Amino acid sequence: MSPLDAFALAAAAALLLTMPLYALVSRGRPRDPEVAARPTTVLLGHWVRDWLMWVIAPLERALVRARVSPLVFNLAGVGLGAAAGVAYAQGAPAAGGWLVLLGGAADVFDGRIARARGMISPAGAFLDSTLDRFAEAFAFAGMAMFYAGSPLRILAVALALGGSLLVSYTRARGEGLGVSFRGGLMQRAERLVLLALASLLDPVAVTALHWAAGSLLVLAVAFIALASTATAAFRTVAIARALDQAERRARPGPGAPRRRLRRGRGAS
């Protein structure tokens, strides 16, 4: 285990030690409104999300008081994604995992600061979602370089990236057609957490089980590939059904009068 990986693991352990403290202070505490509004999954429940919001709350308040622009965190997320890709390519998965987590935190700060400062806008929403895809692409590209000697592992990375982009695309395309759907197991937060945990634990597994470097990480990547592709397929079916039902409701009934389509001279 490299010194960088050891430092990353120690930092992760220090972060996890705040969980018991939060369990004590959170009794009777109301749930964060934004967390309560989001659907839960098997991997991420309300308690874990609330804990994260509690951890970052002091920094969030300081950033709002300092009037830091949400765009700073959009760009920071891309930079951290690129740095994670470099870490993976250099064979430092634990460091890559921390950079993935920090990139996810930057994404959280972006949205919460924008809402706190009343800076929500279509342009901001577009930049947020689009730059997130850049960050993911850079991180997975670094992983592909890490696994350059194994075609099967590169295939797992490619499928994980493709599935991740499809999850986001199906939601965006559905919303563009008037159907908002966020369901599915492997959404972005779940992908980030799973990828980061596997990255942080990979050096431990390699040392304890005498596996090849990246073995635990590639198992997580393969799971992300399968689960994100399934999530995209689930969303595709659900959104298509919702659109079909909306179209059926909009059609006139059997007894309703039909309007004739009038064609002009130049109609084709």
Residue 221, classed as helix, strand or coil, is helix
Catalogue the active-site residues. 132
8 vs 225: CA distance, rounded Å: 25
Residues 6+ apart with CB under 8 A from 226: 159, 163
Residue 251, classed as helix, strand or coil, is coil
Side-chain half-sphere exposure of 148, counting CA atoms within 13 A: 8
Can you say how many angstroms the Cα of residue 58 is from the centroid of all Cα atoms in its chain?
A: 23
Residues 6+ apart with CB under 8 A from 133: 165, 168
